[in-house]
Chain A
Amino acid sequence: MSTKNYLNADYGFRSWLTTLDHKRIALLYLLSITFFFFIGGAFAVAIRLELMTPQGDLVQSETYNKLFTMHGLMMIFFFLVPSIPAVLGNFLLPLMLGAKDLAFPRLNLLSWYVYTIGGLFTLWAVVFGGVDTGWTFYTPYSSTYANTNVIAAALGIFITGFSSILTGLNFIVTIHKMRAPGLTWFRLPLFVWAHYATSLIMVLGTPVLAITILLVAVERLFRVGIFDPALGGDPLLFQHLFWFYSHPAVYIMILPGMGVISELIACFSRKRVFGYGFVAYSSLAIAVLGFFVWGHHMFVSSQSMYAGLVFSILSFLVAIPSAVKIFNWTATLYKGSISFQTPMLYALGFIGLFTIGGLTGLFLATLAVDVHVHDTYFVVAHFHYVMVGGMLMAYLGGLHFWWPKMTGRMYPEGLAKFAAVVIFLGFNLTFFPQFLLGYLGMPRRYHVYPEEFQVLNVMSSAGASILGLGYLIPMSYFAWSLRWGKRAEKNPWGAKGLEWEVPSPPTTFNFDTTPTVTEEAYDYGPKPEPGEVAHV
């Protein structure tokens, strides 16, 4: 390759580990996140294998409990939370804004180090003993009764939280201060709006998680009564604090995915996103309302009945902005010019699966129904539809879409389409039977289960094996494409947005001269021919 770009600007480990380039940091994140995703996935494989039979015959109960705990911890804190923001957001925000980098490049590198240290710390806790509290760390089990490596795992999460906060701060400042001339708020790509909303939650919510985890550690180490009633504490206090972060955290996980979907739908239907303003504001509405619904995790916890009523109605309200997004994306397709490259297949899959994930969320917001399905496989199915069917589909869609920009190479289109279909089918076979299991009453986190639940569990495990193989395909051809993939043009999709106006891959400082923006986002409409008078 003759031209200089950010990948060949410098060589060697040292140049990567000390880089301040947001694009290189994004790739560092991509590597670490993929690593943790496959570790979390390995735990899922073990869980699904165990659940093929009703007897707990593959592993001991103690081991099983560690497996689902580690699956949750790895996937949530080390994959879902950072995935889109830290990889795609990091790579794209400065490009989309017409900036040379994020506002604080050193902070950006620090956040990757903090993330990786936290992740390795948690991994260390897994290898040496493991932890069995569930990713939710409910007290007093976690603070008093569990005999596993709670402190070490919690410390890993605590450390990683700071990386979220740093990333959030960096994004907020960058979006406020570093937009190119002419790039007003309502000309921003919706990807940027979604990341802005996400960053707000990261900055405001994550400290509460840090405090909560610290309190668990204090009670565990020094026997100070905070959550354990035997020491004079209140076990429900923990749930309030924990969900005050962890419910907004699900929006940290899904909002960036929604941002990706807006970009994909617009590009592959060559249409401006329908109701741009509504889609933009709905992200903020989700971020704000999301802070007031935590009590819907506690309808049967012995929280007051009246609190239950309030949290129920607020939970219905937070569902509305998500519905608005779904309708607007669908309407965007109307009278578009739709093509079906791989990223679009993921986007369409996202809309279908997120619709199911969102609608089943209404079941959980409905008080009397939640009493029955709370802590059953219905909940497991619901959040996997949102997180895997929604968020992971968006992440894969985004990765395919911007892969040419990130690496300068095209992935093999036919194989990628095949993988997308395999993943979609495997996903549904894995998680749809779990809705039925949940209403039948199978509790989550059960190692041994009554025999009548076996058929549905076997279906789910069969689906999981398809899904697992499905994920290995993109992993392989992405790696393959780095060397043998067709070289990517500047703008292989004919997409709008500043990131498509620079070479693939971009140079270290993105733009030779700062661009000036004169048009709306997603200006895919007909261009007036030279000489012809523009009609509006």
Chain B
Amino acid sequence: MWQNLPLFPDSASTLAGKVDGLYFYLIGVSVFFTLLIAGLLVVFSLRYRRKSDDDRPEPIEGSIVLELTWTIIPLLLSLVMFGWGAWLFFQEHQAPGGAMDVYVTGKQWMWKIQHPTGQREINELHVPVGRPVRLTMTSEDVIHSFFIPAFRMKKDVVPGRYTEAWFEATEEGTYHLFCAEYCGTKHSQMIGSVTVMSPSAYEAWLDGEPVASDPIAAGAALWEGLRCGTCHTADESRGPSLAGRYGTEVQLDGGKQVLFDEEYIRESILRPRAKISLGYRPLMPTYESQLTGDDLAHLVQYVRSLSEDKTP
């Protein structure tokens, strides 16, 4: 067992190296201050150890200059940490255009994954190297957290809402997938693996997997079946047209704006009155009881695809 002692994780995404860079800066600052304090403790302890019980050292009141020094220098060093961390955090929140969309559902105690082309996996995720992958995630029960250490990526998976994360793998290989938010008895068994493959191997893998259903086609069928098109028409008389809306800001009744994204589509289907588009009356009924989690994901992807048709 002694030969098996890793001290540093694999770095296999575009962000991993950047996070590690910041981590090393933090380690540098920490080691410096730890050695400084420990060194001073040792030096003072040796130099000023009590020589006689009658020692009465002269008191020293303090020093404004020193107080300012050890307030301002740590403050500046930590502002660098803040800025650097925030800059990377921004990048973690901005999935690049053209990312491959993967839907993730967490439930006690497994990960269910669906590829844009319809293939499904459980506790495994196959992705091509060098292509950004955007995850849209939700949970069927309690809070989980999707964690791939090799990608330095983690995001909570929350019931009742969609959360988003993205990564771009840079090294082929197989990596751990963990649930990082405690979710009950088998929390530590809610694990899986991420396999990063060459694009051609990924295509071959896709071809070998059965296609459960084309999510967009399934969404289109739901759209027909639920008669969404009766109100969401091109002339926008009863409800807004949804074509070309994805990724734009929606003006809401009451003056606020909201981004037309997966979470907004999902919320509008389940709780139509939560955010009413400006100029429309709250006519739409809720579809909460009529849709399963999969149906909802399909319908969301279909609504999203209405925008892709316009701007291919």
Contacts and interface: CB of A to CB of B under 8 A. Distances in A.
Interface of A: 56, 61-62, 65, 132-134, 136, 138, 140-141, 144-146, 228-230, 234-236, 269-272, 274-278, 299-302, 305, 308-309, 312-313, 316-317, 319-320, 323-324, 326-328, 330-331, 333-340, 348, 351-352, 355-356, 359-360, 362-363, 365-372, 374-376, 436, 439-441, 443-452, 454-456, 494, 522-527
17 contacts: A61-B187, A132-B184, A275-B67, A300-B155, A305-B90, A308-B89, A338-B44, A338-B48, A338-B49, A355-B38, A367-B85, A368-B92, A369-B22, A372-B19, A372-B23, A441-B149, A527-B56
A145 B184 contact: yes
A524 B180 contact: no
Nearest to B59: A525
Contact of B147 (A65, A369, A443): A443
Interface string B126-145: 00000000000000011101
A272 B143 contact: no
A372 B85 contact: no
Contacts, number: 293
Nearest to A279: B62
A141 B85 contact: no
B100 interface: no
A362 B89 contact: no
A524 to B, nearest CB: 7
Nearest to B73: A323
B152 A371 contact: yes
B44 A141 contact: no
Instruction: State the 5 A-B residue pairs at the shortest beta-carbon distance, nearest first.
Output: A229-B160, A441-B149, A368-B88, A337-B55, A367-B89
B110 interface: no
Interface in B1-27: 1-2, 4-9, 15, 18-19, 22-23, 26
A326 B40 CA distance: 11
Interface in B60-74: 60-63, 66-67, 70-71, 74
Contacts of B93: 305
A277 B64 CA distance: 11
B30 A356 contact: yes
B185 A454 contact: no
A387 to B, nearest CB: 18
Interface stretch (B76-84, B217-225, B246-254, B276-284): B76-84
B226 interface: no
B23 A302 contact: no
Given A274-B62, A275-B62, A440-B8, A371 B92 contact: yes
A138 B143 contact: yes
B75 interface: yes
B158 interface: yes
A324 B108 CA distance: 46
What size tier do the contact residues of chain B reach?
35 or more
A369 B23 contact: yes
A362 B78 contact: yes
B256 interface: no
A335 B37 contact: no
B4, B85, B147, B154 interface centre (most CB from chain A within 10 Å): B85
A358 to B, nearest CB: 9
Given A313-B82, A369-B26, 20 more contacts: A141-B182, A229-B159, A229-B160, A229-B161, A323-B70, A333-B41, A333-B44, A337-B51, A337-B55, A337-B56, A338-B44, A359-B30, A367-B82, A368-B87, A372-B23, A374-B180, A440-B7, A445-B187, A445-B188, A449-B188
Contacts of B66: 275, 327, 331
B181 A375 contact: yes
B58 interface: yes
Nearest to B72: A320
Given A337-B55, A362-B26, A451-B4, A312 B187 contact: no
B184 A302 contact: no
A424 to B, nearest CB: 13
Contact of B60 (A316, A334, A447): A334
B206 interface: no
B178 interface: yes
Given A61-B188, A274-B62, A360 B44 contact: no
B62 A278 contact: yes
B97 interface: no
A327 to B, nearest CB: 4
Nearest to B44: A333
B189 interface: yes
Nearest to A298: B156
Contact of A309 (B48, B86, B179): B86
A454 B4 contact: yes
B183 interface: yes
A447 to B, nearest CB: 4
A39 to B, nearest CB: 22
Contact of A316 (B40, B79, B88): B79
Contacts of A146: 184
Given A352-B41, A368-B85, A62 B78 contact: no
A327 B89 CA distance: 31
B59 A275 contact: no
B85 A323 contact: no
A386 B263 CA distance: 39
Contact of B143 (A230, A235, A523): A235
Contacts of A236: 158
B153 A371 contact: yes
Contact of A366 (B1, B41, B51, B85): B85
A524 B78 CA distance: 36
